[in-house]
Structure 1
Amino acid sequence: MPEYRRVLLDGAAVQAVRDGEELVAGDGRRVKAEEAHHLPPVVPTKVIAVHLNHRSRVEEFQVSLAPAPTYFHKPTSALNAHRGAVVRPEGCKWLNYEGEVAIVIGGTCRNVSPDEAGEYIAGYTVANDYGLHDFRDTDAGSMLRVKGADTLCPLGPGLVTDWDFRGKYLRTYVNGRVVQDGSTDEMEWDMHYLVADIARTITLHPGDVLLSGTPAGSRPVRPGDVVEVEVEGLGRLSNHIVAGPTPIRTDVGAQPTESEEVLSTALGGDWEYRGIRPPRRG
């Protein structure tokens, strides 16, 4: 399966094709993949993510799945790349990983059926849909600041074409330990359905990204942790967590909180918030 990566070569962004352990630019220049400065593999006009899609995540939260998918938006300023630093702002504690498959649009797409949607997909890449749950009590459920902070949308390492999404494993590792272990087969709505659903009312342009949901096991990470997401056939996306250089300003806006909703979501189930059993504190 062809794999395309965007990297910096001599200070310029170029697309390169993976050839074994090397990346080959269009002009023939080569660089070792392990030594390359990676960029996000695509340049989207928008990044749209589905809330709940993996059945293991639904079971973990002890909720009922909605009759149709619901979505949120991550600004393109949140984009990050393979081996990039993910920033946990000073004063925040609840930064969670979420390993996912990212759908990349290849052609302008509007009002298509699920059967037609595959024709508009350029390929797929690995994503980590980080969430800063300290801000979960604000923005009226849009999750703009939970999901939209700078660096919280790593994609990569590359864009893989001709990849069949069916029956593929998805695993997330923190410091080498498996913390999420799921499969694309546990998705309630597959990749083609998600594209067709969004494209009913929103035009999707080449390069646009749809994040397809995460399995159970999302938990907080801290500065110094190395988080990797591996998807069968797509590769392994690696990022490290760093502390933000400056604190969240306190003279404007909503502040980070540690409510029951924040804790229960960050720790893996809003059953705590709903009082099914006492909340855990550690």
Structure 2
Amino acid sequence: MTLREYRRILLDGNVVDVVRDGDTLVAGDGRTVAVADARHLAPVTPSKIICVHLNYSSRVKELLTKLPPAPTYFHKPVSSLNAHDSAVVRPRGCKWLNYEGEVGIVIGRTARNISPAEAGDYIRGYTVANDYGLHDFRDTDSGSMLRVKGADTLCPLGPGVVEGWDFRDKRIRTIVNGEVRQDGNTNEMEWDMHYLVADIARTITLQPGDVLLSGTPAISRTVYPGDVVEVEVEGLGVLRNHIVEGPNAIRSDVGAQPTESEEVLSTAQGGDWEFRGIRKPDLSNTF
């Protein structure tokens, strides 16, 4: 099947859907803009963003844990949505913001109670994603991951949605300031794209535009204001963002505060629980 890439950009003050033709983006009315000059928006407007905790074998091995019998999930609010070439904001007072390069599954048809064999017919295409996590809040939200993964700007998608892409045996890399940090392959996934869609659609109706994030390979690490983070997926392109510090500190007069527990530091910097002589926690339901 021929690959076809669709993007959403701001063109002359309007939100416009465009098709990529080489280094040019073409709008339906014939207007064109160079890819390098385009102001990108998130390529879809999902009603929900659902993410699998653990899926890649290299990540499981890194965390010295094991997969559960079936996938487990968490939810990123749509207010966390972000776009290619946009800023990812680390709130002032927080330190432990980590990248997670992923593939996003974009739903194309309303899906409910479908089999894995049928799921491909309900997928519009795929996009590159970065499932950022603010691990300062792990001690509060380790189950729901709401504040860890749901803060504003922590779900960049793009640059576009690619239709006709085969997810099998594709390389996925995360590059920070020009240095490769993650280097994996979609064949590492225990549960493939079709399985994930069918699993969620057993009880949750998936609507066109909804996005499922399919997991990350090993070596999720902390990034800092000024860093440039790129996620590159073979056949889908490169999603690029830069990290900035927000102008406002986390309020101290309400709610749980950022922490730096052993679990926070180990998760953010790369776990070595067994070598510290600390009891290794069950991480299989928290990533």
TM-score of the two chains, using structure 2 as the length reference:
0.95
Q: What's the secondary structure of 1:23's corresponding residue?
A: strand
How do residues 1-282 of structure 1 correspond to structure 2 at under 5 angstroms?
1-139=3-141, 141-269=143-271, 271=273, 275=278
Write out per-residue CA displacement over residues 204-255 of structure 1, whole angstroms, 9 at most, x where no aligned residue. Answer: 0000000000000100000000000000000000000001111000000000
Separation in structure 2 between the aligned mates of residue 120 and residue 140 of structure 1, nearest angstrom? 31
CA, structure 1 residues 114+274, in 2 after alignment: closer, same or farther (shift >3 Å)? farther
Separation in structure 2 between the aligned mates of residue 102 and residue 89 of structure 1, nearest angstrom? 25
Q: What's the secondary structure of 1:193's corresponding residue?
A: helix
Separation in structure 2 between the aligned mates of residue 196 and residue 87 of structure 1, nearest angstrom? 33
Separation in structure 1 between the aligned mates of residue 66 and residue 173 of structure 2, nearest angstrom? 24
Q: Conserved in 2, the CA contact under 8 Å of 1:228 and 1:239? A: yes
What's the RMSD between the two structures over aligned residues? 1.2
Q: Shift of the alpha carbon at 1:271?
A: 2.9
Q: Shift of the alpha carbon at 1:25?
A: 0.4
Write out per-residue CA displacement over residues 151-188 of structure 1, whole angstroms, 9 at most, x where no aligned residue. Answer: 00000000000000000000000000000000000000
Q: What's the secondary structure of 1:182's corresponding residue?
A: strand
Separation in structure 1 between the aligned mates of residue 151 and residue 271 of structure 2, nearest angstrom? 23
Separation in structure 2 between the aligned mates of residue 44 and residue 107 of structure 1, nearest angstrom? 12
Q: Which runs of 5+ in 1 are unaligned?
A: 278-282
Q: Conserved in 2, the CA contact under 8 Å of 1:261 and 1:270? A: no
Q: Shift of the alpha carbon at 1:276?
A: 6.0
The 10-residue stretch of structure 1 (219-228 or 268-277) with the greater mean CA deviation from structure 2: 268-277
Q: What's the secondary structure of 2:164's corresponding residue?
A: coil
Separation in structure 2 between the aligned mates of residue 248 and residue 175 of structure 1, nearest angstrom? 27
Separation in structure 1 between the aligned mates of residue 141 and residue 211 of structure 2, nearest angstrom? 23
Q: Shift of the alpha carbon at 1:269?
A: 2.7
Separation in structure 1 between the aligned mates of residue 270 and residue 189 of structure 2, nearest angstrom? 18
Name 2:285's counterpart in structure 1. Answer: none
Q: Which amino acid aligns with 1:39?
A: L
Q: Conserved in 2, the CA contact under 8 Å of 1:61 and 1:271? A: no
Separation in structure 2 between the aligned mates of residue 161 and residue 274 of structure 1, nearest angstrom? 48
CA, structure 1 residues 64+270, in 2 after alignment: closer, same or farther (shift >3 Å)? farther
Separation in structure 2 between the aligned mates of residue 185 and residue 209 of structure 1, nearest angstrom? 20
Q: Which amino acid aligns with 1:237?
A: L
Q: Which runs of 5+ in 2 are unaligned?
A: 281-287
TM-score of the two chains, using structure 1 as the length reference:
0.96
Q: Shift of the alpha carbon at 1:268?
A: 2.3
Aligned identity (percent) is 75
* Residue-pair matches, total: 277
Separation in structure 1 between the aligned mates of residue 151 and residue 270 of structure 2, nearest angstrom? 21
Q: Shift of the alpha carbon at 1:139?
A: 3.0
